[in-house]
Structure 1
Amino acid sequence: MALAIFLSAAAMTLIVGLRYLVTSGAFAFATRLRHPALYAGLDRQIRREIGWSLASAAIYGVPAGVVAWGWQNRGWTRIYTDAGDWPLWYLPVSVLLYLVAHDAWFYWTHRLMHRPALFRVAHAVHHASRPPTAWAAMSFHPVEAITGAVVIPALVFLVPIHVGALGLVLAIMTVMGVTNHMGWEIFPRFLHSGPLGAWLITASHHQRHHQLYGCNYGLYFRFWDRLCSTDKGLGDFAHGAVASSRSRR
């Protein structure tokens, strides 16, 4: 049993690592096509981001592998494969439940990471990316990676979800994590600056967090930032680029 769990964890680590490399690599390539000079002079930073991210992949892979083994061999989780086990209307509801729960967890743990002691020990690794790039999505100190690695595995023990819906949650988590750090907006204006953008987080919103630090802590939604008065609006990509340029001189 121990060997099977180890192999499952190793396989999930490989999957998470490849998912990161493919997704971040694709959006980094899109950045090079759309904004060829945006990551100029950041080669050393990007190598550091990739190194921390691959270490984080191992931390994310271990609980994911244990959960995958338990689901397949022991029925530990509430993941189901037959869409008829729950009403069809529950499929999108379950996705929303996971995103809302993940967002709440992320907001409060992220805000905690900005306490001076934890910031120095752990979160400073992520903020060393100035400006962040598409490779920075998983660039975490192991302490911070652990806080991010446990939330989805914990939810599958509590909230029923179809395996396909879970895959969608993981895809949204991956894409949002990468695109929020790209340094430019890949989404259309109505999504980030219109009425919908008042509640959704995209790169414009997260850019302000990397500029000012003490604000805009959310992952998917602006609900907690608005409720707790930590929402400081959308960031200025040009300002971020200028600040980064000065910091490298």
Structure 2
Amino acid sequence: MLAAILLSTLAMTLIVALRYLATSGFFAWLTARRRPGYHARLGPQMRREIGWSLASAAIYGIPAGIVGWGWQERGWTRIYSGWQDFPLWYLPLSVLLYLFAHDTWFYWSHRWMHRPKLFRSMHAVHHASRPPTAWAAMSFHPYEALTGAFVIPLLVFLIPIHAAMLGLVLAVMTVMGVTNHMGWEMFPRRLVHSRLGGWLITASHHQRHHEEYRCNYGLYFRFWDWVCGTDKGLSSAV
């Protein structure tokens, strides 16, 4: 049993690392194509971001591997695979529930890590990326990585979700984590400045957090920033 758990953990670590390298690598390439020279002088910084991110991948892989083994071998979790196990209308709802729950945890833990002592010991690594690049999405101190590694693995014990919808949640988490750190806005201006865009976080919004630190703490949605008065709008530099 222990060997199977270790194998599952190693597999999940490899999956998380490859997912990071593929997604960040693609958007770093896109940045170089769309904004030639934009990050040309940030080679040493980007190498540090990759190093921290691969360490974070190992931390994320541990709970994911244990949960993955438990789901397959012991029937743990509330992940289901039959399309008729729950009503079809629940499929998109489950995705929204996961994203909102994750966003809620991220907002409050992120804001907590901006307290001076915690910032120095945990969050300063992430903000050492000036400006952030596509490689910075998982560039965390191990302590910070631990705060995020258990969120999705915990949610699968609490909220039913189809395996395919869980894959969609992980895809959204990965893509938004990367695109929010590119330093330029890839989405159309008409979307970013639309009513829908006013509730979603993109690079324009998150860049301002990296500029001013004490605002725009959310991950997917601007809901908690609006409620708590920490939304300072979009960066003028993106």
TM band (smaller chain):
over 0.9
Aligned residue for 1:85, secondary structure, equals coil
Aligned residue for 1:71?
71
Name the residue aligned to 2:175: 175
- 1:113 CA drift (Å): 0.6
- Residue 157 of structure 2 aligns to a residue whose secondary structure is coil
Identity %: 74
| Alpha carbons 1:102, 1:152 under 8 Å: kept | yes
Q: Is the 8 A contact 1:207 1:236 kept in 2?
A: no
Counterpart check, 1:226 vs 2:226: yes
* TM norm structure 2: 0.99
1:132 — aligned with what?
Answer: 132
CA contact (8 A) 1:56 1:138 kept: yes
Partner AA of 1:188 in structure 2: P
Cα distance in 2, alignment partners of residues 194 and 96 from structure 1: 20
- The superposition leaves residues 30-80 of structure 1 with CA deviations (integer Å, 9 ceiling, x where unpaired) of 000000111021000000000000000000001000000000000110000
State the 1:193 CA deviation.
1.6
State whether residues 79 and 160 of structure 1, in contact with CA within 8 Å, keep that contact through their aligned partners in structure 2: yes
How far does residue 191 in structure 1 lie from its aligned partner after superposition?
A: 2.1
Instruction: Output the aligned Cα RMSD.
Output: 0.6
How far off its partner does 1:190 sit?
A: 2.2
On the 8 A contact 1:190/1:196 being kept in 2, the answer is no
Between the aligned partners of 2:168 and 2:191, the Cα distance in structure 1 is 19
Structure-2 residue corresponding to 1:245: none
Q: Give, in whole Å, the separation in 1 of the partners of 2:219 and 2:118.
A: 19
d(CA) in 2 for partners of 1:190, 1:115: 35
> What is the aligned partner in structure 1 of residue 152 from structure 2?
152
Instruction: State the shift of 1:236 in Å.
Output: 2.3
> Which segments of structure 1 move beyond 6 Å, counting only runs of 4 or more?
none
State the partner residue of 1:142. 142
Match of 2:18?
18
Find the aligned partners of 1:5 and 1:94 in 2 and give their Cα distance.
27
Structure 2: distance between partners of 1:221 and 1:68: 28
Q: Which structure 2 residues correspond to residues 112-131 of structure 1 after superposition, within 5 A?
A: 112-131=112-131
SS of 1:129's partner is coil
Shift of residue 237, structure 1, vs aligned partner: 2.2
Equivalent residue letter for 2:160: P
Deviation at 1:29, TM superposition (A): 0.2
Q: Structure 2: how far apart are the matches of 1:136 and 1:236?
A: 21
Give the 5 Å matches for 1:152-231: 152-231=152-231
Which residue pairs with 1:44 in the alignment?
A: 44
* TM-score normalised over the length of structure 1: 0.95
SS in 1 for 2:229: coil
Once the two structures are superposed, what CA deviation does each residue of 1:90-131 show, in whole Å capped at 9, x if it has no partner? 000000000000000000000001011110001000000000
Q: Tell me the CA shift for residue 178 of structure 1.
A: 0.1
